Amino acid sequence: MSHTVESAVIVAIDGPAGTGKSSTSKAVAAALGLSYLDTGAQYRAITWWMISNGVDTADPAAIAAAADKALIVSGTDPAAPTITVDGADVAAAVRSHEVSAQVSAVSAVPEVRTRITGLQRAIAAGAARGIVVEGRDIGTTVLPDAHLKIFLTASPEARAARRSAEIKGSDVEATRQALVRRDAADSGRATSPLAKADDAVEVDTTELTLQQVVDRVIGLVEERRTAAR
């Protein structure tokens, strides 16, 4: 099933962890021939750099002072997205428990958000064929003029089961509690909190297969295309 997109389209997909953002975003981008950006990986990358360089992630002033130091480069091929810090591949390293436990604190620092938001906007602006950008504040803060905004949701239980399946041997209940804590931290931060944009389409993925979610998003992109003609 091929899909054609006439001109550059920007799709923002937001939502909490475990709703299927990454899988959905990559599949939609691949189907539509668009670039793909995982903004969460960028925040994980800068968090990894802070930890690796001995910055106290409990000290917002120390984080702010180092916010511009790491060179973060995101590859935008949905079939093989990459993330490097100072030239080193950190795709696996940024998924560590250590990074996961500290990324919300680092992400909450305004100087970090300013730095990473700038990177994200530059990547989106340079995506000639269009891009699918996934994160937590894309539709509200990073790309408020995106052609289509999607907000994915799912029950905490479904999200925990999915995340536990990704992380072999993890405890589902502990994972659920960690997700709820992360939601609270991300929704409650002062700068660019996790929130649904007023003009976003909410898609509850609890009872849907990945393919059903992907098809729904592609359908929404094509609806916007038709309306814009």
Read off φ and ψ for residue 11, nearest 5 degrees.
-115, 125
| DSSP label at residue 167 | S
Q: DSSP string covering 99-166, please?
A: HHHHHHHHHTSHHHHHHHHHHHHHHHHT-TTEEEEEESSIIIII-TT-SEEEEEE--HHHHHHHHHHH
* pLDDT (0 to 100) of residue 1: 45
What are the tens digits of pLDDT across the range 177-204?
A: 888 888 888 888 888 888 899 999 999 9
Domains in the chain (CATH in brackets) are 11-217 (3.40.50.300)
What are the tens digits of pLDDT across the range 145-187?
A: 999 999 999 998 898 888 888 777 678 888 888 888 888 888 8
Give the contacts of 170 (CB within 8 A, at least 6 positions apart): 163, 164
Q: Other C-beta atoms within 10 Å of 97: how many?
A: 10
Predicted model pTM? 0.90
pLDDT above 50 for 5? no
